[in-house]
Amino acid sequence: MLKCGSAIPEGAQFCPACGAPVKIDVVPTISPTPIQPKTVSNNLINRMIRAARLDTSLYEEVEVDNTATTQALIVVVLSSICSGVGTALGRVLIGHGPLGVGIGLFGGLISALLVWFAWSFITYFVGTKVFSGTASYGELLRTIGFANSPGVLLIFSFIPILGGLISFAVWIWNLVTMIIAVRQALDFSTGKAVLTCIVGWIVALVLLIIIGIIISVPFIMIGS
């Protein structure tokens, strides 16, 4: 209704009585706030926790994330350092000197890195060539690296009596994470993942024996 008092028909642009233009008030519409998709955190600590909790999506995530190789390396190093510190503290408690502790810690770190590279390659070879899995060496390197996450708890292995139980629990835990890592990387069944690990262990054992024989032959010849 305009000031002249006339009723305005619906849809009219001018008053039929006085000719005044009809002002139409536009009510602004409120657009709903778009829902932001949930992002997956690539924080190292977050990923280590998820790996230790047997979160299969984590292993799928790092499998395809080429930038996660450095993080996997850090996980292996952290696990090795924690294991070395736990062992070192245990040796200190029973009277070992600092030199032996330092050598053990450094040697443990180097051996952990070598085992990581070698074991990833062995599982890659066995999984793809023997059990027809699909993965690259880098994918195995990343998933197996994160499978070492529970190893940080080995820092408590120096605790008398309890330390032995912690070490055993971590060993079982790492065994399970390793199987999950292999299964998710190679995209096959749990049974094939277990078989891949078993065959891989046998291959690794044979290689260690051969390397041991090769290293010991010169010393045997010198002794004879």
User: Which of 3-7, 41-45, 141-145, 150-154 has the least mean pLDDT?
Assistant: 3-7
At 36, the pLDDT band (50, 70, 90 cuts) reads very low
How sure is the predictor about 130, in pLDDT bands with cuts at 50, 70 and 90? very high
Residues 6 or more apart whose CB falls under 8 angstroms from that of 35 comprise: none
Nearest to 136 by CA among 194, 64, 70: 64
CA distances from 75 to 49, 143, 192 (A): 11, 11, 26
Give the pLDDT band of residue 83 (cuts 50, 70, 90): confident
Hunting for tokens 């829902």 — which residue is that?
Answer: 35
pLDDT for 29 beyond 50: yes
pLDDT band at residue 38, thresholds of 50, 70 and 90? very low
Q: Three-state SS for 42? A: coil
The per-residue DSSP string of 63-98 comes to: HH-GGGHHHHHHHHHHHHHHHHHHHHHHHHHTT--H
